[in-house]
């Protein structure tokens, strides 16, 4: 499976994820998450979860970032028969937009409900995508939407980014589409956050009081060839 991460240019502030509107969706879709406990406790909960099988666990070193992935059994928070429920937790380097272009890192938590190929499964994940938006969108300050078309102008993937005011980087992104290499369809929830003093915090871009949401819209319209290599799944546009 081809895996990539979006590059973000952000400034970190220490603001807790304990605030709404994230808690309802975390409770609905995630068996455990790092926003009601210390980050180290979240890792321990994954290691001890009998329903979660860790496939790769790379701790951060001087030359590599943190990366963990695995699959669930007996757990499916989605409303369609998933072939695989995969969780990915990946650290990503970011660059601030300050004059020094200071480097930092954020975490990406991604939950994927992977179905099989075929038109029926495409409809399953698309319906889940629309259900999430209908039930969760009003909890957020705003959102942006984009679609990708394949042959015959048919929509093959969609994405929503959900924002929490006053932050200009969307902490939540959902998408449905076709996975590269496997031709399987999937619905994916991605949460972005910063780990500071072993706690999860929001991320915010400098200058957001001047151009709110502007940068993320640039990222949102970028093509896959513009994105750096990473370890999160992305769909075929």
- Local confidence band at 176 (pLDDT 50, 70, 90 cut-offs): very high
Structure tokens at 103: 């480097």
Dmax (CA) of the chain: 50
- Tens of pLDDT, residue by residue over 73-102, are 999 999 999 999 999 999 988 776 667 776
Query: What DSSP state is assigned to residue 22?
Result: H
Q: Which backbone phi and psi does 68 adopt, to 5 degrees?
A: -140, 135
Instruction: Kindly report the three-state secondary structure assignment for every residue of 59-85.
Output: CCCCCCCCEEEEEECCCCCCCCCCCEE
- Residue 12 pLDDT > 60, yes or no? no
Tens of pLDDT along 16-58? 444 468 999 999 999 999 998 999 999 999 999 999 999 999 9
234 falls in which pLDDT band (50, 70, 90)? low
Give me the mean pLDDT over the 111-128 stretch: 94
Which residues lie below 8 Å from residue 193, measured CB to CB, with a gap of 6+? Answer: 17, 34, 35, 106, 107, 109, 171, 200, 201, 202, 203
What does the pLDDT read at residue 166? 80
151, pLDDT greater than 60: yes
């Amino acid at each position: 499976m081809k895996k990539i991460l979006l590059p973000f240019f952000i400034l970190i502030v220490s603001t807790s994820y304990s605030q709404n509107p994230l808690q309802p969706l975390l409770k609905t879709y995630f068996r455990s998450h790092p926003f009601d406990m210390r980050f180290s406790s979240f890792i321990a909960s994954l290691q001890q979860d009998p329903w979660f099988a860790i496939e790769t666990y790379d701790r951060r070193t001087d030359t590599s970032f943190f990366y963990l992935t695995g699959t669930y059994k007996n757990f499916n928070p989605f409303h369609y028969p998933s072939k695989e429920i995969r969780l990915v937790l990946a650290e990503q380097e970011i660059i601030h937009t300050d004059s020094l272009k200071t480097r930092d890192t954020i975490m990406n938590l991604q939950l994927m409900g992977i179905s099989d190929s075929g038109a029926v499964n495409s409809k399953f994940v698309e319906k889940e995508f629309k259900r999430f938006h209908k039930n969760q969108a009003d909890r957020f300050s705003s959102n942006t939407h984009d679609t990708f078309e394949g042959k015959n102008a048919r929509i093959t993937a969609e994405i929503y980014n959900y924002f929490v005011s006053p932050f200009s980087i969307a902490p939540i992104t959902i998408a449905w589409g076709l996975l590269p290499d496997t031709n399987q369809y999937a619905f994916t929830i991605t949460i972005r956050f910063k780990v500071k003093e072993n706690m999860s915090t929001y991320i915010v871009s400098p200058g957001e009081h001047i151009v709110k949401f502007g940068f993320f819209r640039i990222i949102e319209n970028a093509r896959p060839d513009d994105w750096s290599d990473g370890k999160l799944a992305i769909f075929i546009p």
